[in-house]
Structure 1
């Protein structure tokens, strides 16, 4: 079994409520190169909907979700442009 996906940027959004995780994602995604991967660890259940929707609206690629080491959902986003 493989381990967690390695991201170019890890965003710890634990404890942040909607819409803060996607605001943080939007603010920081420019820190990675095009093709780079951002991981957003978020405890807010709304992030499961907000992150994929943000990707569709912003033209970024939603790669999927996996658990972080502590079991918190970790949403993976690839920077397209």
Structure 2
């Protein structure tokens, strides 16, 4: 298991979901990906994408700066 991060700050949906999908394709099952974003829509969109694609959201954190960090575990693809 390795940890990775993806910075999609300033990008609006669906771009954060598309970039998350592209990054996850390069990772192994069990890897952890922290997606850092500013679009509030990702709070629903990325978890929904994870459920559909067999990945698991570990945590969603909203920072004082307004940034949203969604941490997910890559499932079997």
Distance between the aligned counterparts of 1:69 and 1:8, measured in 2? 23
- For 1:64 and 1:72, the matched residues in 2 are separated by 14
Given the superposition, is the C-alpha separation of residues 54 and 23 from structure 1 closer, same or farther in structure 2, using an over 3 Å criterion?
A: same
Could you tell which deviates more after superposition, 60-69 or 49-58? 60-69
User: Does residue 1:66 correspond to 2:61, yes or no?
Assistant: yes
Deviation of 1:68 (Å): 5.7
Contact 2:33 2:72 in 1 (8 A): yes
1:51 is matched with 46
Q: Distance in 2 between matches of 1:64 and 1:54?
A: 15
User: Is the Cα contact below 8 Å between 1:41 and 1:68 reproduced in 2?
Assistant: no
Output the TM-score relative to the length of structure 2: 0.86
3-state SS of 1:65 partner? strand
4+ long deviations beyond 6 Å: none
RMSD over aligned CA atoms reads 1.8
Q: With the length of structure 1 as denominator, give the TM-score of the two structures.
A: 0.82
- Where does the alignment leave 5 or more consecutive residues of structure 1 unmatched? 1-6
Match of 1:41 among 36, 42, 47: 36
